[in-house]
Amino acid sequence: MPGQKRRYNVRFPPQRRIKKIMQKDTEVGRIAMAVPVIIRALEMFLKSLLTKTCLITQSKLSAVVSIAHKQCIESEKLFHFLKDLAERTSTTAAQKDNRGMNVW
């Protein structure tokens, strides 16, 4: 139906897969009971990051989120720890783009 928003019910990533990865390491396998809490915290963090990035993308009248939309990380105090990573990523992407390669 045109005009209706699609709602995606995607959980990232599957709990079983994370639990298997954590159990492979002997030290990490001991905290397997905390896996659901860690997964939920990750889901909440990603939802917050993507929601705020989406708002910035929509305010710029864009339909695609790209590396250039790192404004969310720079403007939100919550994402302050990601600033170094965002700077390195944008520098690497700019170098690839200058060589004529596709950024994605």
- Regarding whether 15 and 37 lie in a shared domain, the answer is yes
| Residues in the chain, total | 104
Query: CB–CB of 72/65 below 8 Å?
Result: no
Residue 2 lies in a domain: no
Range of the domain at 51: 8-64
Count: domains in the chain: 2
17-50 pLDDT per residue, tens: 777 777 777 766 566 677 778 888 888 998 998 8
Q: In whole angstroms, how far apart are CA 38 and each of 15, 44, 98?
A: 10, 10, 39
Q: Do residues 18 and 48 both lie within one domain?
A: yes
pLDDT digits (tens, 9 = 90+) for 68-91: 778 888 888 888 888 888 888 766
